[in-house]
Amino acid sequence: MGQQRTAGFVGLGLMGAPMAANLLRSSWHVTAWNRSAGALDDFERLGGTRVQEVADMRDLPVIIFMLPDLPFIKEASARLLESWWNNPPAPGTTVVVMSSVSPTGVQAFGLQVQRASQGNATVVDAPVSGGTVGAENGTLAIMAGGAASDVRRLESLFDAMGTTVRHMGSLGTGSLAKACNQLIVGATTAALAEAAELAEHSGMDAGALFDVLSGGLAGSRVLEVVGPRLIRKDYTPTGPAKFMHKDLSFVLESARQHGAATPMTSASIELYAELIRQGLGDQDLAVVRQTISQLSHAPVAEGTATS
């Protein structure tokens, strides 16, 4: 891959745009497609090129997808795969799914790509963690699943976007690792929001609480990054909170498949379902604090015991 630093990038959203920009800064030639033209205009000003449709990337050695979920990726890639049926791509072509998707779903997509390309193209799932700040700074954590030889070929690509890159195992393990990441982030954010609400209801300064927590065992990267937004009640999106519900559903899906108990996930997914019901899904993940606040003001059903 070192001699051919050329890639396609599909999806220039909050995460995708800075990730693609970092590839350009690392001397990759990047061709992009995005549903809205504005992001492509910005991308061209940085030195990238655009295509009219994803199928125009059919001859590129690497095609990266950074779309909200696997159904969007399947829709965007449909004509690409169709073009490969009669005229397969070069051997070693790699489709890289960097979105948060279903572990079992991406395995099925991998088989679809393999069949359409007559075995010449493979899929690597490589979801990321680190939010928009990590995407902008090129400090993402990247969890890669796929054949070891495929992941090795992508090392320089991943290094341009992240500082922590791990090969987790076969196709689908990257997505499972991301699902576990989201379980920890979602549950921790909810716990911090609950603590902030409890502190303020009791008259305590929630900011002082978080400050002292950061120096003890409760300190975490989630507290460091999301904590200030929870305190300020700043819900400006760095990524829509509604996606947490989707990601937690992947944890439950994998738990059923492997026979693992996930009581924290079951509780968390119900909370994020409530967040969506409250119409807060397009705001930042920190808005789970508002969800909890609104639950505290909900009327107690008659006959419900309180203590």
Question: What pLDDT is recorded for position 3?
Answer: 45
Q: Which pLDDT band holds residue 306 (cuts at 50, 70, 90)?
A: very low
Please report the pLDDT score of residue 296 as a whole number: 85
List pLDDT tens digits, range 188-209.
Answer: 999 999 999 999 999 999 999 9
Average pLDDT (281-307) is 78
Confidence of residue 239 (pLDDT cuts 50, 70, 90): confident
Residue 303 has pLDDT above 70, yes or no: no
**What sign results for the dihedral spanned by CA atoms 44, 158, 156, 65?**
negative
CATH code reported for the domain at 176-296: 1.10.1040.10
Residue 83 pLDDT: 97
**Which tokens go with 254?**
């994998």
pLDDT tens digits for range 112-134: 999 999 999 999 999 999 999 99
pLDDT at position 298: 72
CATH hierarchy code of domain 6-170: 3.40.50.720
Residue 263 has pLDDT above 70, yes or no: yes
- pLDDT at residue 284 is higher than 70: yes
Letter for the amino acid at 16?
Answer: G
- Specify burial of residue 136 (Cβ count, 10 A radius: 0-12, 13-18, 19+): middle
- Rounded Cα distance between 188 and 218, Å, is 10
- Report strand pairing: 128-129 vs 140-145: antiparallel
Domain spans of the chain, in order of start:
6-170, 176-296
> Is the pTM of the predicted complex or chain greater than 0.75?
yes
- The secondary structure of the chain, three-state, reads CCCCCEEEEECCCCCHHHHHHHHHHCCCEEEEECCCHHHHHHHHHCCCEECCCHHHHCCCCEEEECCCCHHHHHHHHHHHHHHHHHCCCCCCEEEEECCCCCHHHHHHHHHHHHHHCCCCEEEEECCEECHHHHHHHCCEEEEEECCHHHHHHCHHHHHCCEEEEEEEECCCHHHHHHHHHHHHHHHHHHHHHHHHHHHHHCCCCHHHHHHHHHCCCCCCHHHHHHHHHHHHCCCCCCCCCHHHHHHHHHHHHHHHHHCCCCHHHHHHHHHHHHHHHCCCCCCCHHHHHHHHHHHHCCCCCCCCCCC
Question: Taking 70 as the threshold, does the pLDDT of residue 159 lie above it?
Answer: yes
**Which whole number is the average pLDDT over 255-283?**
97
